[in-house]
C-alpha cells in the first residue's frame, strides 16, 4: 500500500531533502495527473480526513494538498476558504521533497517562510505540520497538513496520527484510480474519460484555450481475433494503448470507449497539433510487431481528429465529429489520419 514514509520530524529543515531534476519533476507531474484528481469536486471521503486532522491535532486549518506545476490545489480543506494558492507560497511543496514529515513550530522565525504571503498575510501561518502523500512507487503527489496561526509544538503521537491519515488518503486515491481504469489496457473507462473530457471543456471555455479530440480504432481487429485468438487481440490492444500513452503530455487523457476503440482528449491543442500527434501515434502503432504461434503479425490503427467549437454543448459533440473523421479514415483505406 502507499506509504507516508516514516514519522521522523524535521524542525525548520527538510530532513532528507534533495534536488529535483526537471526530468524527475515532469515524471512526477505525469503521475499526479494520472490520478485525475485536480479540479474535481469536493468529496466527503476526503473532507472527513481533513475534519479528523483538525479535530485530532486541534488546529483550525487542515488540507489535502496536491502540488501541480505552478499551484497547490486542495482536494479538501478545513478553515482555509480557497481552492488553490501559488506553488511559490507552498509549505507542502517543501514537505513533498522530504523523506518524512516536516514540522515548523513558528514560521515567522523560519528563514524559508518568514516573507511568505501566507505567513505575513492571511491565514497568518505560524505552526505547520505536513506528511508527504506518496504513491505506491514513491512518487510524491503533495501532502496532508495541519496549520495554526499560533506557534506550537506537536507531540510524537499526534504526528503518527497525521502519518496514518496520510496513508488513508493515499489508499483512497489508489482505490479511486483503480475504479477509473480499464483493467486490460490501463486507459480510463468510458464513463471516467467522459467526465474528464467534460472538465477539459469547462476549463477550455474558462481560459479561452483550444481543445482537440482524437478517436482511434484498431484496424481489422475482428479478423485479428478470429485468426489468432483473443489472447493476441488483447496483446494488440495493450500495445496500442501504450503506443498512444507514450505520446501524451501531462494533462492529456486516454479512454477506452469500448472494444478496440480509444479516445484522447488534448487540452491546449489546436487541430493542427492534434493531427501531428495522431500521425506520430499512427507511425508508432504501425511499427508494432506481435509474435504469434504462426509467426509475426503487424497491426495498424486509424485516427479521426476534431477541435472544440463554441457551439459544442458537451463532450459528445466533439467526440462525434472526431468519430465522423475516423469513419472517413477507415473508408479511405485505414492506417491513416483524417479530420
Catalytic residue among 23, 260, 270, 279: 260
Closest Cα to residue 228, out of 299, 165, 279, 285? 299
Task: Write the DSSP symbol of residue 35.
Answer: T
DSSP string computed for 243-311:
HHHTTPPTT-EEEEEETTEEEEEEET--HHHHHHHHHHHHHHHHT-EEEETTEEEE--EEEEEEE--TT
By residue count, the chain amounts to 339
CB count, 10 Å around CB of 191? 11
Closest Cα to residue 313, out of 234, 205, 180, 183? 205
Burial of residue 148 (number of CB atoms within 10 Å: 0-12, 13-18, 19+): buried
The C-alpha atoms of residue 83 and residue 73 are separated, in whole angstroms, by 6
DSSP 3-state of 140: strand
DSSP 3-state of 75: strand
The C-alpha atoms of residue 92 and residue 135 are separated, in whole angstroms, by 16
Asked if 260 is an active-site residue, the reply is yes
The phi and psi torsions of 15 (rounded to 5 degrees) equal: -70, 125
Beta bridge partners of 261: 217, 258
Task: Write the DSSP symbol of residue 113.
Answer: T
The C-alpha atoms of residue 95 and residue 137 are separated, in whole angstroms, by 18
DSSP 3-state of 66: strand
Residue positions annotated with a catalytic role: 260
Amino acid at each position: 500500500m502507499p506509504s507516508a514514509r516514516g514519522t521522523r520530524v524535521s524542525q525548520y529543515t527538510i530532513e532528507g531533502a534533495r534536488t529535483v531534476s526537471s526530468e524527475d519533476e515532469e515524471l512526477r507531474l505525469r503521475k499526479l495527473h494520472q490520478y485525475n484528481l485536480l479540479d474535481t469536486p469536493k468529496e466527503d471521503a476526503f473532507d472527513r480526513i481533513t475534519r479528523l486532522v483538525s479535530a485530532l491535532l486541534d488546529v483550525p486549518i487542515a488540507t489535502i494538498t496536491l502540488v501541480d506545476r505552478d499551484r497547490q490545489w486542495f482536494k479538501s480543506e478545513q478553515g482555509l476558504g480557497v481552492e488553490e494558492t501559488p506553488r511559490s507560497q507552498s509549505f507542502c511543496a517543501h514537505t513533498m521533497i522530504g523523506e518524512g514529515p516536516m514540522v515548523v513550530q513558528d514560521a515567522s522565525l523560519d528563514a524559508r517562510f518568514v516573507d511568505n504571503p501566507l505567513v505575513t498575510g492571511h491565514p497568518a501561518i505560524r505552526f505547520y505540520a505536513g506528511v508527504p502523500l506518496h504513491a505506491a512507487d514513491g512518487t510524491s503527489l503533495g501532502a496532508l497538513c495541519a496549520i495554526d496561526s499560533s506557534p506550537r509544538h506537536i507531540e510524537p503521537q499526534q504526528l503518527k496520527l497525521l502519518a496514518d491519515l496520510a496513508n488513508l488518503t493515499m489508499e483512497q486515491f489508489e482505490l479511486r484510480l483503480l475504479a477509473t481504469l480499464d483493467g486490460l489496457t490501463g486507459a480510463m473507462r468510458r464513463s471516467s474519460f467522459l467526465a474528464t473530457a467534460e472538465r477539459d471543456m469547462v476549463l477550455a471555455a474558462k481560459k479561452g484555450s483550444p481543445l482537440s479530440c482524437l478517436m482511434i480504432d484498431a484496424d481489422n481487429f475482428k479478423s485479428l481475433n478470429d485468426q489468432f485468438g483473443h489472447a493476441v487481440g488483447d496483446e494488440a490492444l495493450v500495445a496500442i494503448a501504450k503506443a498512444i500513452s507514450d505520446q501524451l503530455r501531462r494533462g492529456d487523457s486516454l479512454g477506452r470507449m469500448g472494444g478496440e476503440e480509444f479516445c484522447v482528449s488534448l487540452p491546449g491543442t489546436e487541430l493542427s497539433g492534434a493531427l501531428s500527434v495522431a500521425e506520430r501515434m499512427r507511425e508508432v502503432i504501425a511499427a508494432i510487431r506481435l509474435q504469434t504461434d504462426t509467426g509475426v503479425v503487424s497491426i495498424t490503427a486509424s485516427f479521426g481528429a476534431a477541435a472544440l467549437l463554441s457551439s459544442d454543448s458537451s463532450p459528445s459533440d466533439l467526440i462525434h465529429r472526431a468519430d465522423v473523421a475516423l469513419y472517413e479514415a477507415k473508408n479511405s483505406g485505414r492506417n491513416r489520419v483524417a479530420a
